[in-house]
Structure 1
Amino acid sequence: MDGMPIEVREYGIDWPRRFDVERVELERLLAPWLSGGVHHIGSTAVPGLSAKPIIDMMAGVRDLTQARAAVPLLEEHGYRHAPHRATALWFHKPESDQLRERTHHLHLTEPGSDLWRERLTFRDALRADPALRDEYQRLKLRLADAHGEDVKAYTADKRAFVSRVLAAHGVTLGSGRSGS
């Protein structure tokens, strides 16, 4: 993506605050479409878990087709839209293609979608089980070291772990991209 090694940092105590600041702004911007709230997901949402320092978020929207109208509005506020899943709109901030410059990722999806269930279930499982969280952290650190700059391989190699955790909670991982 940008020729920089994958950086997995120790848990940042400012990550929840950074999410809250962005959540307030997103709730204002997405008010016409919002249903289900704006959630902090991914590794930065799990206290004590090392992560790439990008705040991952997911906003529930009543109707994904209607929410496409939010794309230019989010772009005016520093987000760039990029393809993801058919059941979600995905954005990153800032607009740069450089992974090392990204501060936020945002998914818009309908509550109850596969993505919605996967991301919230996985986050909640890691929050509830420190041993599972620590196992995931060891995996992430090993994969970051093994894959260097290859974010796609890093993410793909987390898939089996994510699938196992979700299956233990009655959720099947979809065919879309996954990993936190």
Structure 2
Amino acid sequence: MLAACGAWYGRFMLGLQHDVNRLVAYDPDWPHAFAQEAAALRQALGARVRGLEHYGSTSVPGLCAKPILDILLGVAPLEDWAACRAPLQRLGYDYVADAGIEGHHIFGRGRDAGERTHLLHIVAFGETEWNLNLAMRDALRRDPELRAAYAAEKARAAAAAPTGRAAYNALKGPFILRVRERLRQPHPGAVPG
């Protein structure tokens, strides 16, 4: 159920209207779009940036995604997120609170108020949310079976909820929770530290 959507954002195909859940095929230019945005974020935020990662479906080669670049920004302590607000607003980001994701402070950006091209999630660097989000990204990158299962789950969610982000997220949420729980468990054969 992949369909073309979005529009050119600079030289990158990014953007989706609010509340629309449409998936597109992976675009090999997305890592370049992240690198460009990361440079602007590092310039604007300076030493506040403890970690900056491309994550979410646009960071996983071969995985369908909503054409919205997900960025994970780690700060320490988490309370430092508030000092990021004004510089992010100057870059065109608006604050959307936690959007139902505990431990995240989320900022969005788009060409206009009705669209998103970027979502920036600020979390505590090196803490649980930072580690689990990157572990899931890395698991999806290296495990083709997991990637295919997640793609199928996303396609089912988008077909069942073509509009409404909350409904789409709720439908794919149990899959994500199962993967995250598995990632929390020690690996068989691992030697305790």
Selected match of 1:10 from 3, 22, 25: 25
What residue is the counterpart of 1:75 in the other structure? Answer: 89
What residue is the counterpart of 2:106 in the other structure? Answer: 90
Is the contact between residue 18 and residue 116 of structure 2 (CA under 8 Å) also seen in structure 1?
Answer: no
Greater mean alpha carbon deviation, residues 64-73 or residues 50-59: 64-73
User: CA–CA distance in 1 between the matches of 2:152 and 2:76?
Assistant: 37
Q: Does the alignment pair 1:160 with 2:171?
A: no
- 1:35-50 mapped onto 2 (5 Å cutoff): 35=50, 37-50=51-64
What residue is the counterpart of 1:28 in the other structure? Answer: 43
What residue is the counterpart of 1:138 in the other structure? Answer: 152
TM score, norm. by length of structure 1: 0.85
RMSD of aligned alpha carbons = 1.8
User: CA–CA distance in 1 between the matches of 2:87 and 2:79?
Assistant: 15
The structural deviation recorded for 1:97 is 4.2
Structure 1 residue ranges without an equivalent (≥5): 172-180
Q: Structure 1 residues 5, 108: closer, same or farther in 2, change over 3 A? A: closer
Structure 2 residue ranges without an equivalent (≥5): 1-16, 186-193
Is the contact between residue 90 and residue 108 of structure 1 (CA under 8 Å) also seen in structure 2?
Answer: yes
Q: Which runs of 4+ in 1 moved over 6 A?
A: none
State the identity as a percent. Answer: 36
Selected match of 1:51 from 31, 53, 65: 65
